[in-house]
Structure 1
Amino acid sequence: MRAGRARRAAAGAVSGLALAVLATGCGAGRPTVIVVEEGGPAAELPVSDPADGPARKGRQAGPAQKGRPQEAPERLLVAQGDLLDHKVTPEAHDSAPAGVDRPECRDLARAVEGFLPAGRTGWARASVVAVASALPDDASEGQKRAAALDAASSTVTVVTLGSYAAEAAHGHFAEVQAAGRACEGGYAATVNGETFTVTRVVPHAAYGGDEALAYTVEAERDGEPYQTELMVVRKGGTLVNFHASRLSGEAQLAAPAIEAQVRKLG
């Protein structure tokens, strides 16, 4: 939901390589884009706020198994070698937790920002963007400008993974699910001093792990409409948050990133 993240990622993409819309969204036939730079290993960071935040649900499942061994988050997170025609960039910074006008919407609002709940035993994150096909040698200036504009407004899919002990992941998932049901009519949120109004939260199909949920979040900022897509998957004691944002047009989650991450969870 943070246009700033999309702006930074897209700007880096324009200077480094051209991008194109060639990923498929969560639903059938929905195009998407993803960008990433080669980077060092994803860092594990402390939680900056003792609150929660993933998203809404598509199917039910029981709590995580107690005492189930967990792999390091960096090993579970989607990486460059897991995706073709995409760039995957590990990130070392956490999201800022959102403030809301309706307390019951807090967990959903924070999930929309990619913020995972407190109590994590491990954490990792990466951004994903589709890499554009190379322009022909005889490409016109118009074609080059269009490719650069596409890159600048590309959808960035951010994947955040957190590990939790015992049944904490199941509990956090349930809290986001409850927030999603309570707040489909919208809410107001503030992140890093910037306020936006969510006008509608629309659930849609989700898959993967032991339970999953997904939303399209329609919002307005300074009178301009925009949207974010969100999906949360729980596998045992691991939560994965996928969220996609774009500077203009519709933001759609990248199906290749989701599929690769779900496979990696097992």
Structure 2
Amino acid sequence: MTYIFEIVGQNRRLFYGSLLIAATHFGGAVACICAYLSSNKFQHIFMLAGLIGLLSLKGRAMLTETYVQKESKNMIFSKYNSSNSTVCSYLNVIAASSCLIFIFFTIMIYCNKIIIQKFAIDMQTVFFINLVLHLVWVIFLPIVGIISDRYSIPIVRIMRTGSIATICIGIPALIFGYHSENIKIFMIAQLLVTLTHIIFCMPTPKMICSFFTINVRNTHVSFSYGIGVSITAAFMPILNDFFYNNFSIYGTTGLIAVFATLGFVSTIGIRDNG
């Protein structure tokens, strides 16, 4: 993330950041295909992933690091250009990454449990649904990135739009799809939440890297992003189980609303200059 942020030009960071996230979901799509074709031998997926990882490591080692970042006088989020900015920046990154991970895991992973129980479908159908959702990420993310770079849309505005759309469009659709008793309608609802969440997630690589200067970027990005992602992913199954078992779909969508709001809050009080 930091390498791409520092290598590409200012006017292309949203697009290349979206490609980073899209590449992750391309891997998820390949895994879904493997699981769909051989659901009883999923261990092979890990062997394939290990091979890809080794090839990626070799490719990364061959990249040069000759680019010298020229930091502007004002960071993109200029409010935090003071000596005590680290804590504020960490809180923003943790909030944004928590929103990113929780809603993604809920829609892509926990909803698998819901649809198996609610609609009594088999695992191959689940893998197919996950494949479709991953492909939406792969296709739609770069499109949003290109449009945002082309028209220089402030990333704060993009992220807030995604959060609000998730709450106002995605959540009602999910509730309606759940009560429809129709797996196709519920899948469309998952698709809507995915699309709105993509809008929020697309600028996050640029947002996170923009908080820190080049001399400390790798350290602070890895810590702040890692904290938000790991803690949220760890508690996601427990939270979802508790709220779904006690409040049905309203508990699950309530959690999505909480984390979408947290994503919106992560952008409050910052001034986007670029």
* TM-score (ref. length: structure 1): 0.24
Would you tell me which structure has more strand in proportion to its own residues? 1
Higher Cα Rg, which structure: 2
TM-score by length of structure 2 reads 0.23
Indicate the structure with greater helix content.
2
